[in-house]
Structure 1
Amino acid sequence: MFTDFVALIADAIDTSAINCSGSRNQPLGILNTSGIRSVAGGTNGAAPTLEQLLDLNQEVVVDNADVASCGFLSSTKVGSVLGKFKDTQGQYLLSPYGGTGCSQIAGRRFEVSNNVSSNLTKGSRTDLFAFIYGNFSDLLIGLFRSLEILVDPYTDFAKGTTGVRVFWSINIAVRHAESFAAIQGAIA
């Protein structure tokens, strides 16, 4: 059961770090941080191209924030689409087994998360995805206090149910906005 709690907490931190608005006691996620760079798609979004992904990289490079550990992040659905792209010689553009054992785009790590936004709006579309490139070492996650697990055997006693609540105070901050760039309108 403890591993289930850990997975739920990790999922909540992941969602917050990527998407949260910073309002109502939520941390401010990468996509809502003022000053991150952006690469535009079409009027109603666009399927990501290699050129756009290289433009994401360039947005970070021009601010001297590109380091060897930078990488790409998008949704599993976008990852599935990119995994099928081939160049003119039939070679896959998304290197499935880069030197580190993970997928790479243009020599940079590519990771996926189901917590990357998949309901963004652009033009008439409301089902668009985000695609992020950046130095994730500049994403700070502060953990405060210790993890608290509270067991409540009383509230639903008649039903034979025991409630469990988990509390952990965290905060998230982007140390340098110029360390990140995003496409907020990718079609998968």
Structure 2
Amino acid sequence: MNLHQLRQRKAELRSATSAIIAAPGGADGLLTDEQRTTVNEGFAELDRLQANETILERQAREDSEARGRTLNDRETEDGIEYRVFAHATSHTSAEGIEGWRTPTGEVVPVLTREQRIADFLPNERTAGSEIGLGGFMRALLNGPKTDLERRALAEGSISTGGAMVPARLAAEVIDFARIKNTAFAAGALTVPMPAPQLLYAKSLSDPVPSWRAENALIAESEPVFGSMSLTAKSLAVRFVISRELLEDAPNMDAGLRNAMARGFARGLDDAIFFGSGANNQPLGLANTPGLQVVNMGANGGQLTGYSPFLDAALALQSANEDAITAIVLNPRSNRVIAGLVDSTGQPLQPPPLLKDVPILATNGVPVNQTQGTATNATSAFMGDFSQVLVGIRTELQITVLNERFAEYGQVGFVGWLRADVAVPRPAALAKIVGIKP
């Protein structure tokens, strides 16, 4: 099958599945089991065709570039095709995008907090963006009532386990969650995951240089790089809404997006800082080996000044790590620092080394840690947070809990996000442990 034939088959499948979704044959305007099976089989074939299309497009692009032309004579802002979404390559006019090339030749962008996943989508209106997240969820619950709702559902992928949210709506929720997340504000980077697993290099140690005489053996140093992987793990957010509110509230779209994004933001903070690495949790900074450690004492200690943070900065500099993009701690510790005073009763100013470092607070850093006899200790983290990679699958799924809350006139929804955390250079970060109130 050549590229033209493949695209024809994709168009036929999209038309066939859209026709089924637009004319449900079940009760209450829902799809029958047979229709669901046909639609799911169609989407599965579309996934396979999309993977083959990516390979054929890359081959065509390479052939075109060899003749001095871009693929399909198409001009883009930077000439780069990024792999952000599972089923298609993307272009963007956004500036300053860093891209990492995979062994298969695809370029995966690495995004700062200010750079949006939504910027990699075509700049066009879609049915999903017109009805919004609230409208999509109403159509998912009650079945499509209009042509616009039918087209919006067709942009997603419906199965017995739930529905894949259309790409633009999913990107908006994920981008909003990134804005609300403290780790991203500290400088953590987002790696969109077009596949369930991505393999990256991890810095194990710096090479040790040595001077040598002519013809002398070059001294060996420790291995410099190892491997690490981002493997998508499931994060779920459940919320309950009255049926009347879902049907009638004019601001329900923004409310749902805000609630879901804030839930994901808090869940990601929990994982980034204290994920256990077990029970399908990512491995967070607190449990990542190789971070610099400053201990507040066998039984913990109180913050009475900036000395623990200066000790952490010294540990980082001793490891040739100078960048400190942020300090992240619990709101309780943030309150203590804000209340520090000097001998004249004036607010205690941070030392020059830390005066330009933002201090950020999150409940993702708990206050019930054990340090010797203390059971109410907490931690703080500081260093170069660009060494924290958060892999996020750009597909977002919603499941409807239609019967569970029916007796209360409510409906439940579960949002599913898949993500993981990796730290390629742990020595660039420090943790202060055993902070007591």
What is the TM-score of this pair, normalised by structure 2?
0.39
Match of 1:43 in 2: 298
Compute the displacement of 1:13 (Å): 0.4
Contact 1:46-1:186 at 8 Å conserved across structures: yes
Match of 1:147 in 2: 396
Match of 1:101 in 2: none
Match of 1:5 in 2: 260
Q: 1:108-147, aligned counterparts within 5 Å?
A: 108-147=357-396
Compute the displacement of 1:147 (Å): 1.2
Match of 1:57 in 2: 313
The number of residue pairs the alignment matches comes to 179
Partner SS for 2:281: coil
Instruction: Using the TM superposition, name which of 4-13 and 108-117 deviates more.
Output: 108-117
Instruction: Using the TM superposition, name which of 9-18 and 108-117 deviates more.
Output: 108-117
Partner SS for 1:146: coil
Q: Deviations over 1:27-67 (max 9, x none)?
A: 01111101111111122101123111101111112222222
Q: Deviations over 1:61-102 (max 9, x none)?
A: 2222222x522111111111111112345442356xxxxxxx
Letter in 2 for 1:53: F
Partner SS for 1:132: strand
Instruction: Using the TM superposition, name which of 169-178 and 47-56 deviates more.
Output: 47-56
Partner SS for 2:414: strand
Is residue 427 of structure 2 the alignment partner of residue 178 of structure 1?
A: yes
| Higher relative contact order, chain-length normalized (CA < 8 Å, sep 6+) | 1
Partner SS for 1:65: coil
Instruction: Using the TM superposition, name which of 137-146 and 155-164 deviates more.
Output: 155-164
Specify which of 25, 28, 37 is matched with residue 283 of structure 2. Answer: 28
Contact 1:93-1:105 at 8 Å conserved across structures: no
Contact 1:19-1:31 at 8 Å conserved across structures: yes
Contact 1:82-1:94 at 8 Å conserved across structures: no
Compute the displacement of 1:122 (Å): 1.0
Compute the displacement of 1:160 (Å): 2.4
Instruction: Using the TM superposition, name which of 58-67 and 139-148 deviates more.
Output: 58-67
Partner SS for 2:308: helix
Partner SS for 1:108: coil
Q: Measure the CA separation in 1 of the matches of 2:406 and 2:349.
A: 53
Q: Measure the CA separation in 2 of the matches of 1:91 and 1:105.
A: 18
Compute the displacement of 1:145 (Å): 4.1
Contact 1:128-1:187 at 8 Å conserved across structures: yes
What is the TM-score of this pair, normalised by structure 1?
0.87
Larger radius of gyration: 2
Contact 1:130-1:184 at 8 Å conserved across structures: yes
Partner SS for 2:400: strand
Instruction: Using the TM superposition, name which of 38-47 and 83-92 deviates more.
Output: 83-92
Specify which of 304, 323, 332 is matched with residue 77 of structure 1. Answer: 332
Is residue 366 of structure 2 the alignment partner of residue 93 of structure 1?
A: no
Compute the displacement of 1:5 (Å): 0.7
Contact 1:72-1:131 at 8 Å conserved across structures: yes
Compute the displacement of 1:12 (Å): 0.4
Deviant stretches of 4+, over 6 Å: none
Letter in 2 for 1:8: G
Partner SS for 1:42: coil
Choose between structure 1 and 2: higher strand proportion: 1
Instruction: Using the TM superposition, name which of 10-19 and 34-43 deviates more.
Output: 34-43
Query: What runs of 5+ residues in structure 2 fail to find an aligned partner?
Result: 1-255
Letter in 1 for 2:430: A
Compute the displacement of 1:105 (Å): 4.1
Instruction: Using the TM superposition, name which of 156-165 and 135-144 deviates more.
Output: 156-165
Q: Measure the CA separation in 2 of the matches of 1:134 and 1:44.
A: 25
CA RMSD of aligned residues (A): 1.8
Partner SS for 2:367: coil
Letter in 2 for 1:150: T
